[in-house]
Amino acid sequence: MLSRQRAELQSMLRHAVHSSPYYRDTIGAPVARGAPLEDFPALTKRVLMENFDRIVTDTRLNRRQVEQHLDGDNPGGLLLGEFNVAATGGTTGERGITAFDRAAWLAAIATMLRFQRIVGIDETTRSMAVFASSPIHISHRIGAELRAIRPNAPGLNVLMPIETIVETLNAYQPQVISTYPSFVRVLAAEQQAGRLRIKPRLIRTSAETLTQDVRNIAAETWQSTVADSYVCTEAGPMGHECLCADGLHLAEDAFVFEVVDADNRPLRNGIEGAKLLVTTLTNRIVPLVRYEISDIVTMATEPCSCGLPFWRIASITGRREEMLRFPRRGGGTVNVHAHRLRSPLTSSAGVRQFQFAPLREGLEIRVSVFPGVDADAVSRKIEDAVRTTLTAVDAQPSSILVKVVDAIERSGSGAKEKLVTAPATRLPDES
C-alpha cells in the first residue's frame, strides 16, 4: 500500500506542476529534482483561497464562479453539470472552498463507504445522519449520497426542532446514528428524559473533537459503541475508527499525512504535533499539497489489533485555535487547551451546553442549563472547578466569568458548536 501511495504521490505532483500555474511556480523545481515531500512549502487555507484560480487545474473553474454557485438557488447541484463544490468556515472561521469532479467525488464517497463497512454498516443497515442543514457543507452532501442507497432513511439536520428529530428517530428506530459529538449529548438528554426511545448499536461522530465523556454518555445511555470519523471539507473523508475505537485509521491510499511541528517539520509517531499536513492523491481538480489542518494530532506507535493495514491517529487534542493563554503563576504565560477544561463542565449536573471565550488575562464561560436547574449554584460550581483545573497547571487568570445563556447557537455552514469563540462581553478595564 505504501508503495502504491508513493507512486500515486509522484503522479499527483507531476500533474499539479503540469496543470496548475501555482504549483508550477512553487514546487516545480523540487518535483523536477525528486525532492522529498517535507521540502515542499505548506499550503494554508488563506493561500488556497487567494490562489484558487491558479491552483485549480480545470480552466473552466474559478473562485468567483464557485462562490456564486454556492450562494445561488441550488448550491447542492452540480456546477457546470459535473462538479460538486462545497464550502467551509471550519473552526477557524476562515472560509474555504473546493471542487470535486466526478472521479474525485466518487473516490470520496467510496472512501466513506469503505470505512462504514469496517464498522458493520452496509446498504441493509438502518443508518442515518443528523448533521448540517446547508447543502454547501460536505456532511450534508455525503449524507444525501448515502441516503440514495437507503431510500427510507429520513433526512434530518441539527437545526430542526428537537421535537421533530425525536419523533422521526422514534419512528425510524436507527441501528446507527451519525452526528456531531455535541449533538450526542442532546440526544442522550432526550433519551434520559424518556422522550426519545431508540436503541442504536453504534454512534458515528464527526466534525468536532470527540472526547471520552461523549463515549461514556453513549455507553451509559444506549450501551452503544462510538466510532469517530475524520472528514475535511477541502479533502473529503480521510479516516475512521474501527470497532476497537483505538484511533482513526487513515486512508493512506488516498492521502499522505504528515504530523509536523510549528515550522512544518515532520515528527515521529507518538509525538504530538502542532498541525497536520495533508496531500490529496485522488482530487486532480483541486490538488492539495501539504495542506495545513490545525488539528493537534498524535500518531499511533503500534498497529491496531483489528489487523487493518491503515496507520492511525492515536489522538486529536483539538484545534490550534482552541488554545487558551493565561498568566502563569510567577510570571510569563501558560497555554491551556480548552479541552482540558471540558471535564469540570461535563461533570457538572444540569449543564446542557458550554463554550469558552477568552478575555484579557481571563476567561468567560457560557453555559446553558436544563429547566429547573439552579443556575447560580451551577455557575459557582463551574467557576470553582475551572479555577482548580487551571491552578494545577500554574495558570492564574485574573477573572473567570460564568454566563448562563438560553442556548449556544451553532455556527457556519456546518452548524457546528464552537468550543472557543470571541467574547460577547468585556471586563470593565478592557478596551
Q: Using the predicted structure, report yes or no on whether residue 413 has a pLDDT greater than 60.
A: no
Q: Is position 420 within any domain?
A: no
- If you average pLDDT over residues 317-346, what whole number do you get? 75
- If you average pLDDT over residues 12-23, what whole number do you get? 97
- If you average pLDDT over residues 254-264, what whole number do you get? 95
Cβ atoms within 10 Å, residue 159: 13
Specify whether 179 is located in the same domain as 243: yes
Specify whether 68 is located in the same domain as 54: yes
Specify whether 129 is located in the same domain as 276: yes
Q: What's 300's domain CATH number? A: 3.40.50.12780
| pLDDT at position 331 | 84
Specify whether 264 is located in the same domain as 302: yes
Q: Is position 80 within any domain?
A: yes
Helix, strand, coil percentages (3-state) for the chain, rounded to 5, are: 35, 25, 40
Q: Please state the pTM of the whole predicted model.
A: 0.79
Specify whether 44 is located in the same domain as 125: no
Q: Is position 257 within any domain?
A: yes
Q: Is position 431 within any domain?
A: no
Q: Whole domain around residue 384: which residue ranges?
A: 328-404
Last residue of a domain, one of 77, 99, 121: 99
Specify whether 125 is located in the same domain as 152: yes
Specify whether 173 is located in the same domain as 247: yes
| pLDDT at position 431 | 32
Q: What's 355's domain CATH number? A: 3.30.300.30
Specify whether 143 is located in the same domain as 88: no
Q: Is position 424 within any domain?
A: no
Strands of 63-126 (E only): list them. 84-88, 96-100
Q: Which residue has better confidence, 366 or 349?
A: 366
Q: Is position 92 within any domain?
A: yes
Specify whether 343 is located in the same domain as 272: no
Last residue of a domain, one of 319, 348, 376: 319
Q: Is position 425 within any domain?
A: no
Span 41-73, pLDDT tens digits:
999 988 998 999 999 999 999 998 998 898 888
Query: pLDDT grade, residue 181 (50/70/90)?
Result: confident
Say which amino acid occupies 228. D
Helices 2-19 and 21-32: angle between axes, nearest 10 degrees: 130
Task: Tell me the CA distances in angstroms from 166 to 128, 154, 375, 395, one per residue in order.
Answer: 13, 12, 26, 42
Span 73-83, pLDDT tens digits:
898 899 999 99
pLDDT mean across residues, the chain: 87
Specify whether 70 is located in the same domain as 156: no
Q: The cell 464561560 sits on which residue?
A: 365
Number of domains in the chain: 3
229: left (phi over 0), alpha (psi -120 to 50) or beta: beta
Specify whether 93 is located in the same domain as 185: no
Q: Is position 381 within any domain?
A: yes
| pLDDT at position 109 | 95
Span 186-204, pLDDT tens digits:
899 999 999 999 999 999 9
Specify whether 201 is located in the same domain as 149: yes
Q: Which of 132, 229, 249, 182 is nearest to 408 (CA)?
A: 182
Cβ atoms within 10 Å, residue 252: 18
